[in-house]
């Protein structure tokens, strides 16, 4: 590691005109669609929780859709994602079905995990969504392991790992970043900095201002900060990181600035936020921002409404499907602990 | 047949599987270039190269995380945790991640990983490097737990562990590393969940694990020669899956049961066996079931003290002699 | 409540406490066996007069006192009488844990208890070679192997005379067989003194040796086979011989119309089977009828002890269960008189299932007061069963078949078709006479034929 020039901070600049458009109309429709699906499903999850159809707890990603959509759209189908318990958006964005997600939240048979895992463990291996993890930091080295596997097998797969600002202070974060760099693994670590570690402002518990980006240099990585509420910027950042990884140049650490509209979990009314903060951030809500951008790029209001109507229709249908699905029966209780489908520990 | 030491058998077992399947990879601290701090992996780097045999930083969570991630995506990794006491540092990866992922995802995720470690005391390393913690792993649903007592079983059980699609924790007893034993030629595989009756008797049944097996056998010899008590000695070899049938059959036959456990007393692996036998063979017991264990303390380092703590041949003989009539 | 020395005979003025079955601090239930008293004529088991906790035992085993003397004190559960002293709560931190069982002697391990139950042995008669005189599994097995002399069924010697617990203990302690000792008591009963006299004269018997001569092997009949009698068959046989030798058996029978039971079975049978998983047979109805009839004729539910008829307060109904032609077991439904038809059906089902699975416990096989033997499923006409000692009577129910019968009506006698079966009782003529037994059977028939059995089930 010769010179350590501090990399320029990336922010949401870049002119919005067709002239310097590297993304294009099709991709933009995809990005909007993805964010919209995430937003509407997540809002349904909120409603269903209030109707007591979703039990336990749920960690909603309302407000953070652009990150999930931006990265997922930049990924290839065979890439791996690992996310936290705030993972509904990420799992949907990789292509998991809405009734699979909602059904799992409601503890029904049609759920992605048959009701066995719940909101915090959404997984869809067929889509590369290799799990949502509820222990802070645990999945960073696991994501690294998937990258090691890709490197060993000589494929160009990338492993993408999403986590929150609070994760940057736990031991596994440091172990994973260090070892990924030493082994030059094709893994992209994405810190969704929504400014709060559970109920505490992240600044109060972190020794540096940007909890991820300001630690990158400790692991020989570039300092990358992106506006997490601008799907186009997220997409571009993702592309760069993936290209690095696929070229064998090793891991990246990206800090995406964002904000969550709801509390940490359903139990949290988020009264610890200063007055006005939520309203300020809602002005930068990724969905209306992106909608406006679509219009700016010449996609018609009618087209946009068509997209929105279709999403609403599909989300409503998914809710009905999930509601009609029965809860799992006793016959599945003792299954699938072992690879043989059972759970026997003795003869 | 060849004679190998227990530590040589570890390398031999790993090599057998790595030759057979190119997806078997191995990582740990000081395992590649140095051949392992206990010299259990000598020769593997030379034979299989640095892509398949990797040295890691001191990062137990990263080691196990990497092994799990790789296992979920097509490889069959073996990870080494140098001393089993260190599991406490990375227990989340073992108990919450590897063990639970398949069940939580209703079978979407498979984790064919083997985590090897050097377990137990008797070598004067002090409390933080000497505990037997196979009972920690036994208590976690979703883990298979293996604890061989002979070089042949090391190879055979390691083979089965690698071929098993579930997470396996493989406890090598460090005090046995220098012991020798006959190992069959060619590929050797011992299925999990099969106990070995190391000695057949009729007056009492002794269930012992790992380093306690040779002590139990010694004690059985003395009990037979000097006290007219002819004991069966069973080595379960794996705690999960557990061969309860063999243990129940032998206990029903003899009417008496003793366990010899190196782990500290409370919630040791023998407690579960006692519970099963007292429930399912109650009416065939001709006396109380007795556990012979290390007392419930951290292990002391001074050799005189450590030898008092671990179940000795003398203590095994005395306990059984005074209990069986 | 004070427990006093009972008067065991009109002219008896005193008695000796021979055995306490409870100790201070134990809980006892009303009518549970509390102690035993002996006089020169008889030894009697005395039940507790009330439920509660034994707070004092004033007269020790072996002491002789006048009739009426207070022997012990029971504190009534929940009723704190002023003169009851609270048990000295001597439970200091170092006091040993109180044990449930008050029985003297070394404990019986589960394996020993199981073998003893399986072979119908009396542990008091087995000498223990284990630690502190404990009876080991090997001791029991050795006894069973050699067909041991001290093996007994129930509390009787081979001549059918009762053996008191103290006599049984002495026999066991000295390794003696009751068969070797002649009794000087009433009806040739063996008393404590007889055993001690034998011991002084002869010393304890040698341990059974393996050098006992084997009988010459039997010649196999042409085309036939030799089947050695199994242990359970030998023991059952010994019980039967002893029973016939003890009780003068008389057989009496009645023909019974089962139509009302049949109606109840038809009405409730399907729902019952769907709910419980097994069919409703005649047996629970008959068991209920028997309990009710015993209520009117209590001497049927009794035992003979020396010169006394011991009339039992509880009906513990033994149900004979055949184990696939390999042997007979008689598990007992305790307190059958407190159960209705449904309760009896479930209890009988549970016992017969466990009997066939080999899962009966010693408690399941003891303390029976009356026995039902059911050959009905085989369609037999009548059976003369052997009394299950020390009871005084046994009932056999046989096949129920449709028969033409005369039905009296206002329009004269008509022929109808009814399900008819024979119910027969073998009784011990020492306990009562034919008229009493006949009256009981008549009452039993009346109950079977006139009860609204459907109402009992709904």
* Cβ contact, residue pair C110, B283, below 8 Å: yes
* Cβ contact, residue pair A121, B104, below 8 Å: yes
Q: How far apart are CA B182 and CA A336, in angstroms?
A: 38
* Cβ contact, residue pair B284, C130, below 8 Å: no
Instruction: Look at strands C370-374 and C393-409 and give their pairing.
Output: parallel
pLDDT at A15 exceeding the cut of 70: no
B17 and B141 housed in the same domain: yes
Range of the domain at B274: 196-323
Q: Which residues of B are catalytic?
A: 129
Q: Looking at the complex, does the CB of residue C105 fall below 8 Å from at least one CB of chain B?
A: no
In the prediction, which pLDDT does C156 show?
67
Chain centroid to CA C207: 30
Question: Which chains contact C through at least 3 pairs of Cβ atoms less than 8 Å apart?
Answer: B
Helix axes B151-163, B6-20, angle to 10 degrees: 30
* Cβ contact, residue pair B66, A335, below 8 Å: no
Optimal mutation site among C128, C137, C358, interface B, most CBs of chain B within 10 A? C137
B264 and B119 housed in the same domain: no
- Cβ neighbour number for residue A198 with a 10 Å cutoff: 14
In the prediction, which pLDDT does A315 show?
98
Counted domains in chain B:
2
What are the CA-CA distances from residue C121 to residues B89, B189, C144, C189 (Å)? Answer: 59, 50, 9, 20
Q: How far apart are CA A111 and CA C408, in angstroms?
A: 72
Give the single-character DSSP code of B95.
Answer: I
**Listed residue (B69, B63, B103, B112) closest to A82, CA to CA:** B69
Q: Looking at the complex, does the CB of residue C131 fall below 8 Å from at least one CB of chain B?
A: yes
Q: Looking at the complex, does the CB of residue C107 fall below 8 Å from at least one CB of chain B?
A: no
Residue B122 forms part of a structural domain: yes
Domains within chain C, CATH numbers bracketed: 2-76 (2.40.50.100), 110-208 (no CATH), 248-457 (3.30.559.10)
> Is residue A150 helix, strand or coil?
helix
Q: Looking at the complex, does the CB of residue C130 fall below 8 Å from at least one CB of chain B?
A: yes
How many CA within 13 A on the CB side of residue C430? 20
Nearest chain B CA: its distance from A104 CA (Å): 10
In the prediction, which pLDDT does C10 show?
57
Establish whether this prediction's ipTM goes over 0.85.
Answer: yes
Chain centroid to CA C263: 34
Nearest chain B CA: its distance from C111 CA (Å): 4
Nearest chain B CA: its distance from C167 CA (Å): 27
B103 and B201 housed in the same domain: no
Beta carbons of B270 and B218 less than 8 angstroms apart:
no
Residue A122 forms part of a structural domain: yes
In the prediction, which pLDDT does A142 show?
98
Q: How far apart are CA A92 and CA A128, in angstroms?
A: 11
pLDDT in tens, A199-229: 889 999 999 999 999 999 999 999 999 999 9
Q: How far apart are CA B16 and CA B24, in angstroms?
A: 10
Average pLDDT, stretch A17-26? 75
How many CA within 13 A on the CB side of residue A312? 6
**Listed residue (C448, C106, C77) closest to C288, CA to CA:** C448
Which chain A residue's Cα is nearest to B91?
A: A138
B131 and B264 housed in the same domain: no
* Cβ contact, residue pair A176, B68, below 8 Å: no
* Cβ contact, residue pair C109, B285, below 8 Å: yes
* Cβ contact, residue pair B287, C109, below 8 Å: yes
**Listed residue (A87, A22, A95, A48) closest to A316, CA to CA:** A48
Chain centroid to CA A325: 27
In the prediction, which pLDDT does C149 show?
43
In the prediction, which pLDDT does A6 show?
45
B85 and B203 housed in the same domain: no
pLDDT at B259 exceeding the cut of 50: yes
Residue B191 forms part of a structural domain: no
Question: Which chains contact A through at least 3 pairs of Cβ atoms less than 8 Å apart?
Answer: B
A238 Cβ neighbours under 8 A, 6+ residues apart: A70, A71, A74, A75, A160, A188, A254
Q: How far apart are CA C287 and CA C289, in angstroms?
A: 5
pLDDT in tens, B76-109: 999 999 999 999 999 999 999 999 999 999 999 9
Q: How far apart are CA B64 and CA B209, in angstroms?
A: 26
pLDDT at B311 exceeding the cut of 60: yes
**Listed residue (C63, C62, C64, C83) closest to C74, CA to CA:** C83
Range of the domain at A46: 34-263+273-320
Which chain B residue's Cα is nearest to C135?
A: B286
Query: Of B136, B159, B183, which residue is a domain's last?
Result: B183
Residue B188 forms part of a structural domain: no
Q: Looking at the complex, does the CB of residue A339 fall below 8 Å from at least one CB of chain B?
A: yes
Percent of the residues in chain B that have a pLDDT greater than 70, as a whole number: 100
Mean pLDDT of chain A: 92
Range of weakest confidence among A46-55, A275-284, C3-12, C258-267? C3-12
* Cβ contact, residue pair C111, B255, below 8 Å: yes
Q: How far apart are CA B260 and CA B218, in angstroms?
A: 12
Task: From chain B, pick out residues whose CB is under 8 angstroms from the CB of C138.
Answer: 286
Range of weakest confidence among A108-117, A234-243, B278-287, C235-244? C235-244
Average pLDDT, stretch B185-190? 97
Q: Looking at the complex, does the CB of residue C133 fall below 8 Å from at least one CB of chain B?
A: no
**Listed residue (A4, A55, A25, A7) closest to A266, CA to CA:** A55
In the prediction, which pLDDT does C102 show?
43
pLDDT in tens, B234-246: 999 999 999 999 9
B142 and B270 housed in the same domain: no
Residue B107 forms part of a structural domain: yes
Beta carbons of B109 and A131 less than 8 angstroms apart:
yes
Task: From chain C, pick out residues whose CB is under 8 angstroms from the CB of B284.
Answer: 110-111, 114
Nearest chain B CA: its distance from C147 CA (Å): 21
Optimal mutation site among A78, A113, A148, interface B, most CBs of chain B within 10 A? A148
Confidence band for A38, pLDDT divided at 50, 70 and 90: very high
**Listed residue (C355, C180, C156, C373) closest to C247, CA to CA:** C156
Optimal mutation site among C111, C112, C141, interface B, most CBs of chain B within 10 A? C111
Which chain C residue's Cα is nearest to B203?
A: C138
B219 and B98 housed in the same domain: no
Q: Looking at the complex, does the CB of residue C129 fall below 8 Å from at least one CB of chain B?
A: yes
Question: Which chains contact B through at least 3 pairs of Cβ atoms less than 8 Å apart?
Answer: A, C
C53 Cβ neighbours under 8 A, 6+ residues apart: C25, C26, C27, C28, C74, C75, C77, C87
Task: From chain B, pick out residues whose CB is under 8 angstroms from the CB of A332.
Answer: 106
Query: Of B183, B213, B240, which residue is a domain's last?
Result: B183
Q: Which helix (H) or strand (E) holds C441?
A: helix C434-450
B155 and B230 housed in the same domain: no
Residue A85 forms part of a structural domain: yes
In the prediction, which pLDDT does C356 show?
82
CATH of the domain at B35: 3.40.50.970
Confidence band for A268, pLDDT divided at 50, 70 and 90: confident
Q: Looking at the complex, does the CB of residue A155 fall below 8 Å from at least one CB of chain B?
A: no
- Cβ neighbour number for residue B95 with a 10 Å cutoff: 19
Q: Looking at the complex, does the CB of residue A14 fall below 8 Å from at least one CB of chain B?
A: no
Q: Give per-residue burial for C172-202: e unless 16+ CB within 10 Å, then b.
A: bbbbbbbeebebebeeebbbbebbeebbeee
Bond from prior residue into C390 cis (ω within 30 degrees of 0)? yes
Counted domains in chain A:
1
In the prediction, which pLDDT does A214 show?
98
Q: How far apart are CA A127 and CA A113, in angstroms?
A: 14
* Cβ contact, residue pair C134, B325, below 8 Å: yes
Optimal mutation site among A175, A180, A333, A335, interface B, most CBs of chain B within 10 A? A175
Q: How far apart are CA A177 and CA B65, in angstroms?
A: 12
Task: From chain A, pick out residues whose CB is under 8 angstroms from the CB of B61.
Answer: 137-138, 141, 171-172, 175-176
Q: Give per-residue burial for B198-222: e unless 16+ CB within 10 Å, then b.
A: bbebebbbbbbbbbbbbbbbbbbeb
Optimal mutation site among A141, A174, A219, interface B, most CBs of chain B within 10 A? A141
* Cβ contact, residue pair B285, C136, below 8 Å: no
In the prediction, which pLDDT does A188 show?
98
Which chain B residue's Cα is nearest to C136?
A: B286
- pLDDT tens, per residue, chain C with 458 residues: 888 888 766 556 788 888 888 888 888 888 788 888 876 656 677 888 888 889 888 888 888 888 888 899 888 754 444 433 334 443 344 555 655 544 556 678 999 988 888 888 888 778 888 887 888 998 888 888 776 444 443 456 777 677 765 676 677 667 677 888 888 876 777 877 788 888 877 754 444 444 444 455 567 778 888 888 877 788 788 889 889 988 999 999 999 999 999 999 999 999 999 999 999 999 999 999 999 999 999 999 999 988 889 999 999 999 998 877 777 889 999 999 999 999 999 999 999 898 888 788 878 888 899 999 998 888 899 999 999 988 999 999 999 999 999 999 888 999 999 999 999 999 999 999 999 999 999 999 999 999 999 888 86
Residue B31 forms part of a structural domain: yes
Helix axes B269-280, B244-254, angle to 10 degrees: 60
Nearest chain B CA: its distance from A50 CA (Å): 25
* Cβ contact, residue pair C112, B286, below 8 Å: yes
CATH of the domain at B312: 3.40.50.920
Query: Of B132, B148, B183, which residue is a domain's last?
Result: B183
pLDDT in tens, A233-244: 999 999 999 999
Task: From chain C, pick out residues whose CB is under 8 angstroms from the CB of B283.
Answer: 110-111, 113-114
* Cβ contact, residue pair B65, A138, below 8 Å: yes
Confidence band for A46, pLDDT divided at 50, 70 and 90: very high
Average pLDDT, stretch A72-77? 98
Whether C194 sits among the annotated catalytic residues: the reply is: no
Which chain B residue's Cα is nearest to A140?
A: B65
pLDDT at B40 exceeding the cut of 50: yes
pLDDT at B318 exceeding the cut of 80: yes
**Listed residue (B167, B78, B136, B160) closest to A338, CA to CA:** B167
B142 and B17 housed in the same domain: yes
In the prediction, which pLDDT does C221 show?
78
Q: How far apart are CA A269 and CA A331, in angstroms?
A: 38
φ, ψ of residue B293 to 5 degrees: the values are: -135, 170
Residue A70 forms part of a structural domain: yes
Alpha helices, H only, A184-327: 231-246, 277-282, 286-296, 301-324
B218 and B299 housed in the same domain: yes
Bond from prior residue into C348 cis (ω within 30 degrees of 0)? no
* Cβ contact, residue pair B245, A133, below 8 Å: no
CATH of the domain at A96: 3.40.50.970
Instruction: Report the DSSP beta bridge partners of residue C72.
Output: C3, C57
Whether C429 sits among the annotated catalytic residues: the reply is: yes
In the prediction, which pLDDT does C239 show?
84
Q: How far apart are CA B146 and CA B169, in angstroms?
A: 6
Chain centroid to CA B287: 29
- In the sheet that holds C43-47, the strands lie side by side as C43-47, C33-38, C14-20, C64-66
> Between A66 and C206, whose confidence is greater?
A66
B147 and B202 housed in the same domain: no
B230 and B299 housed in the same domain: yes
Q: How far apart are CA C195 and CA C189, in angstroms?
A: 11
Beta carbons of B9 and B149 less than 8 angstroms apart:
no
Q: Looking at the complex, does the CB of residue A116 fall below 8 Å from at least one CB of chain B?
A: yes
Task: From chain A, pick out residues whose CB is under 8 angstroms from the CB of B57.
Answer: 175, 178-179, 182
What are the CA-CA distances from residue C242 to residues C156, C235, C430 (Å)? Answer: 9, 11, 16
In the prediction, which pLDDT does B220 show?
98
* Cβ contact, residue pair C113, B283, below 8 Å: yes
Instruction: Report the DSSP beta bridge partners of residue C66.
Output: C14
Q: From the list C111, C130, C138, which residue is nearest B283 (CB)?
A: C111
pTM for the model = 0.66
Q: From the list B61, B65, B142, which residue is nearest A337 (CB)?
A: B142
């Amino acid at each position: 590691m010769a010179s350590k020039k501090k990399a320029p901070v990336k922010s949401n600049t870049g002119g919005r005109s067709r002239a310097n458009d590297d993304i294009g109309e099709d991709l933009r429709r995809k990005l909007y669609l993805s964010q919209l699906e995430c937003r509407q499903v997540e809002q349904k999850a909120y409603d269903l929780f209030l109707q007591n159809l979703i039990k336990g707890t749920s960690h909603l990603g309302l407000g953070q859709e652009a990150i999930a959509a931006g990265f997922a759209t930049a990924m290839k189908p065979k890439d791996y994602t690992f996310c936290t318990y705030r993972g509904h958006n990420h799992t949907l964005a990789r292509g998991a079905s809405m009734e699979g997600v909602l059904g799992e939240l409601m503890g029904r048979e049609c759920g992605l995990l048959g009701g066995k895992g719940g909101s915090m463990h959404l997984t869809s291996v067929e889509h590369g969504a290799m799990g949502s993890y509820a222990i802070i930091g645990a999945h960073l080295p696991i994501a690294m392991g998937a990258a090691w596997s890709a490197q060993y097998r000589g494929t160009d797969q990338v492993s993408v790992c999403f986590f929150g600002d609070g994760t940057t202070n736990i031991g596994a974060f440091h172990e994973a970043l260090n070892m990924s760099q030493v082994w030059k693994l094709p893994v992209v670590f994405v810190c969704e900095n929504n400014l709060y570690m559970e109920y505490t402002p992240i600044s109060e518990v972190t020794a540096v201002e940007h909890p991820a980006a300001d630690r990158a240099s400790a692991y020989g990585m570039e300092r990358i900060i992106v506006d997490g509420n601008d799907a186009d910027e997220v997409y571009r950042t993702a592309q760069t990181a993936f290209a690095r990884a696929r070229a064998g140049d090793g891991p990246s650490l990206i800090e995406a600035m964002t904000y969550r509209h709801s509390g940490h979990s359903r139990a949290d009314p988020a009264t610890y936020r200063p007055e006005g903060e939520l309203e300020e951030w809602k002005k930068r809500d990724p969905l209306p921002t992106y909608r406006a951008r679509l219009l700016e790029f010449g996609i018609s209001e009618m087209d946009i409404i068509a997209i929105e109507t279709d999403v609403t229709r599909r989300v409503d249908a998914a809710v009905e499907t999930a509601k009609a699905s029965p809860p799992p029966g006793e016959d599945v209780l003792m299954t699938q602990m072992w690879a043989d489908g059972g759970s026997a520990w003795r003869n | 047949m060849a004679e190998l030491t227990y530590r040589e058998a570890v390398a031999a077992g790993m090599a057998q599987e790595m030759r057979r399947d190119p997806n078997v990879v191995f990582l740990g601290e000081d395992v590649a270039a140095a051949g392992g701090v206990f010299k259990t992996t000598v020769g593997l780097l030379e034979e299989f190269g640095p892509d398949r045999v990797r040295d890691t930083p001191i990062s137990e969570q990263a080691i196990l995380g990497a092994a799990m991630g790789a296992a979920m995506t097509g490889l069959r990794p073996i990870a080494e945790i140098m001393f089993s006491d260190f599991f406490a540092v990375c227990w989340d990866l073992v108990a919450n991640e590897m063990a639970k992922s398949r069940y939580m995802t209703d079978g979407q995720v498979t984790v064919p990983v083997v985590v090897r470690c050097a377990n137990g005391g008797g070598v004067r390393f002090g409390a933080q490097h000497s505990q037997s913690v196979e009972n920690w792993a036994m208590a976690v649903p979703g883990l298979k737990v293996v604890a061989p007592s002979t070089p042949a079983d090391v190879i055979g059980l390691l083979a089965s562990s690698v071929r098993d699609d579930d997470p396996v924790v493989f406890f090598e007893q460090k005090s046995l590393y220098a012991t020798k034993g006959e190992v069959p030629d060619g590929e050797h595989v011992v299925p999990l969940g099969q106990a070995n009756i190391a000695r057949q008797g009729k007056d009492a049944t002794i269930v012992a694990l790992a380093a306690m097996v040779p002590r139990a056998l010694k004690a059985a010899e003395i009990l037979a020669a000097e006290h007219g008590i002819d004991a069966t000695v069973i080595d379960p070899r794996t705690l999960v899956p557990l061969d309860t049938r063999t243990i129940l059959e032998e206990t029903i036959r003899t009417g008496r049961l003793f366990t010899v456990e190196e782990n500290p007393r409370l919630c040791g692996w023998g407690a579960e066996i006692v519970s099963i036998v007292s429930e399912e063979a109650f009416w065939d017991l001709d006396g109380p079931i007795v556990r012979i264990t290390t007392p419930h303390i951290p292990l002391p380092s001074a050799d005189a003290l450590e030898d008092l703590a671990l179940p000795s041949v003398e203590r095994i003989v005395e306990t059984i002699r005074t209990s069986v009539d | 409540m004070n427990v006093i020395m009972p008067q065991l005979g009109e002219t008896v003025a005193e008695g000796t406490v021979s055995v306490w079955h409870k100790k201070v601090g134990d809980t006892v239930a009303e009518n549970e066996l509390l102690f035993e008293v002996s006089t020169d004529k008889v030894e009697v088991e005395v039940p507790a007069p009330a439920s509660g906790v034994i707070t004092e035992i004033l007269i020790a085993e072996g002491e002789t006192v006048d009739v009426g003397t207070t022997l012990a004190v029971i504190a009534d559960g929940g009723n704190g009488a002023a003169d009851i002293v609270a048990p000295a709560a001597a439970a200091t931190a170092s006091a040993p844990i109180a044990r449930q069982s008050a029985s003297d002697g070394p404990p019986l391990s589960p394996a020993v208890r199981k073998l003893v139950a399986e072979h119908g042995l009396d542990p008091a008669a087995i000498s223990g070679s284990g630690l502190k005189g404990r009876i080991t599994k090997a001791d029991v097995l050795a006894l069973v192997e050699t067909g041991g002399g001290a093996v007994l069924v129930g509390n009787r010697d081979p001549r059918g005379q009762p053996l008191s617990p103290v006599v049984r203990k002495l026999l066991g302690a000295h390794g003696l067989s009751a068969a070797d000792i002649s009794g000087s008591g009433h009806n040739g009963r063996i008393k404590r003194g007889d055993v001690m006299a034998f011991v002084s004269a002869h010393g304890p018997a040698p341990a059974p040796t393996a050098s006992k001569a084997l009988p010459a092997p039997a010649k196999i009949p042409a085309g036939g086979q030799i089947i050695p009698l199994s242990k359970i068959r030998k023991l059952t046989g010994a019980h039967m011989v002893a029973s016939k030798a003890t009780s003068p058996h008389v057989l009496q029978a009645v023909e019974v119309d089962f139509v009302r039971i049949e109606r109840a079975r038809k009405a409730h049978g399907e729902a019952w089977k769907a709910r419980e998983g097994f069919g409703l047979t005649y047996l629970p109805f008959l068991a209920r009828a028997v309990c009710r009839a015993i209520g009117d004729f209590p001497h049927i539910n009794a035992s003979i002890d020396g010169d006394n008829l011991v009339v039992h307060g509880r009906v513990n109904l033994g149900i004979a269960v055949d184990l696939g032609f390999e042997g007979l077991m008689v598990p007992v439904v305790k307190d059958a008189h407190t159960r209705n038809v449904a309760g009896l059906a479930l209890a009988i089902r549970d016992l017969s299932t466990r009997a066939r699975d080999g899962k009966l416990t010693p408690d399941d096989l003891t303390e029976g007061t009356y026995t039902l033997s059911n050959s009905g499923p085989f369609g037999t006409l009548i059976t003369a069963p052997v009394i299950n000692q020390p009871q005084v009577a046994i009932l056999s129910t046989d096949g129920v078949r449709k028969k033409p019968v005369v039905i009296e009506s206002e329009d004269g006698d008509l022929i109808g078709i009814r399900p008819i079966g024979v119910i027969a009782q073998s009784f011990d003529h020492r306990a009562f006479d034919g008229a009493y037994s006949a009256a009981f059977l008549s009452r039993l028939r009346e109950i079977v034929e006139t009860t609204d059995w459907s109402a009992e089930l709904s």
